[in-house]
Amino acid sequence: MFDISLSEEHLSVAEMCRSIATDVLYPAARQAEADGSVPSSVWKVLLETGLTQPVAEELGGAGVPDAVTQMIAAENLAYGDPGIALAALWNGAVAYVLGQHGEATHRQQVSDLLSRADLRAGLAFYEGFGRELAEFTTSVTLSGDEVRVQGRKVGVPFAGTAEFYLVVGADPETGDVRLVTVPAAAAGVTAARGSGWLALDAAGLGTVEFDVTVPAANLVGGQEAGSAALAATLQRLRLLTAAVQLGAAQRAVDYASKYATERVAFGQPIAAFQGISFPLAEAQMRLEQLRLEIAEAASRLDGEAFEDHSPTVAAVVSYAADVAPEASRTAVQTLGGHGFIKDHPVEIWYRSCAALSTLDFDPATTVFSVAL
């Protein structure tokens, strides 16, 4: 039966995250960007929600919400600041993955991530080149009681500041998805932060190269880890980026819409001009569609844990990469010169939406299109 009405829990998570977003994340956005890290007071607030790092109660967490709930949380936190939200969600993603699939070796790391507000773990996931999970070239090779990890990961959060990385790769013989934790200090791990980024600096992005050998016990889920289950978990993480983009773009559209009702030109608030209101309305139409598409993809992840959801998730990610930057662009354009100066926050969302689009971009899913 078709039923997409949100539960009480969904609504209360949305409300709580929205209020943290506007009260805590938004005021810290500029500072986090300048510092290249999330202020510890903000981090502690996020940690307490339990929503950025979904871990089961028996492991000391606040429970694992369904994917729909977590996407709602991600969207609404990003409404405050996408960079801070992304940082928290990705650090939490490591706890989530280790909690879901890890064995004894990884329990301590989960516990540490839950209790230590200073602990950062870098999810070494994306490779660029539009590669899907099944095409990753990072190899994780088991040999006796050791694991060899070789590959280059881009868009890695907390590059250079993480205590350890959770590396996503593949067994070169079977092609099975493999996850392995690698201490940041291990010989053969090279993190490069570069000169900074267009946006999202709070997440401390960088490139990390791995040519390292670690104990076999670092293999998440051990040697018999189910590739399909790991893949499904990773699809959920991909979806988080789209949800963060949605939150940032929605904030930009909301901000610009309010501005349009207040700014007077040619004798009336500029919202009265269709040249102003229609582009914002069109942006909103696309964002509402994106919200539904994220919700459907998340609900499929919740319902059919062992199916291959990569085509569904790829489609969402690709749509978000297109519409979120355009929506934030419309927002800047609505404010005109005021959108271009940092007295207004719209420029952060403009930069962030474009930056988020580069993380998980597959050229094969869309083509370049002109504006006029």
Rounded-to-integer distance, Cα 317 and Cα 154, Å:
17
Q: How far apart are CA 211 and CA 152, in angstroms?
A: 9
Question: Given the rule CB under 8 A, which of 6-14, 53-61, 105-113, 258-266 is the region that contacts other proteins?
Answer: 258-266
Does 363 help bind other proteins (rule: CB under 8 A)? yes
Site for other proteins in 48-107 (CB under 8 A): none
Half-sphere exposure of 6 (CA within 13 A, CB side): 17
DSSP state, 274? Answer: H
Amino acid letter, 270: I
Among the candidate windows 9-17, 52-60, 248-256, 355-363, which touches other proteins by CB under 8 A? Answer: 355-363
Which of residues 205, 225, 232, 240 is near other proteins by CB under 8 A?
A: 205
Query: What is the distance between the alpha carbons of residues 127 and 288, in angstroms, rounded to a whole number?
Result: 30
- Smallest distance, Å, CB 322 to other proteins? 10
Paired with 236 in beta bridges are: none
Q: List the structure tokens of 56.
A: 């089961």
Helix (H) or strand (E) holding 261: helix 227-262
Minimum gap (Å) between residue 56 Cβ and other proteins? 31
Q: How many residues bind other proteins (CB under 8 A)?
A: 53
Q: How far is the CB of 371 from other proteins (least distance, A)?
A: 4
* Tokens, residue 358: 């580069």
Q: Which residue has the tokens 């490591």?
A: 94
311 near other proteins, rule: CB under 8 A: no
C-alpha dihedral, 130 to 133 to 134 to 137, nearest 10°: 70
Task: Single out the residue of 85, 140, 321, 331 in contact with other proteins (rule: CB under 8 A).
Answer: 321
Joined tokens for residue 194: 């570069």
Binding flag, residue 222, other proteins (CB under 8 A): no
5 part of the interface to other proteins, by CB under 8 A? no
User: Which 264-293 residues touch other proteins, going by CB under 8 A?
Assistant: 264-266, 273, 275-276
CB of 67 to other proteins, least distance (A): 24
Is residue 26 a contact residue for other proteins (CB under 8 A)?
no
Q: What string marks each residue from 150 to 179 as x (binds other proteins by CB under 8 A) or -?
A: ----xx------------------------
Which residues make Cβ contacts (< 8 Å) with residue 33, sequence separation at least 6?
83, 199, 201, 202, 348
Tell me whether residue 64 or residue 87 sits nearer to other proteins (CB atom): 87
Residue 171 CA from chain centroid, whole number: 25
Helix (H) or strand (E) holding 178: strand 177-183
Residue 261: other Cβ atoms inside 10 A: 12
As measured in angstroms, the least distance from the Cβ of 343 to other proteins is: 8
Return the number of the residue (109 or 241) whose C-beta is nearest other proteins.
241
Write the Ramachandran bin of 353: left for phi over 0, alpha for psi from -120 to 50, otherwise beta.
alpha
Please, which of residues 290-309 interact with other proteins by CB under 8 A? none
Return residues touching other proteins (CB under 8 A).
126, 128-130, 135, 137, 154-155, 194-199, 205, 207, 264-266, 273, 275-276, 321, 325, 329, 332-333, 336-343, 347, 350-351, 354-355, 357-359, 361-364, 367-372
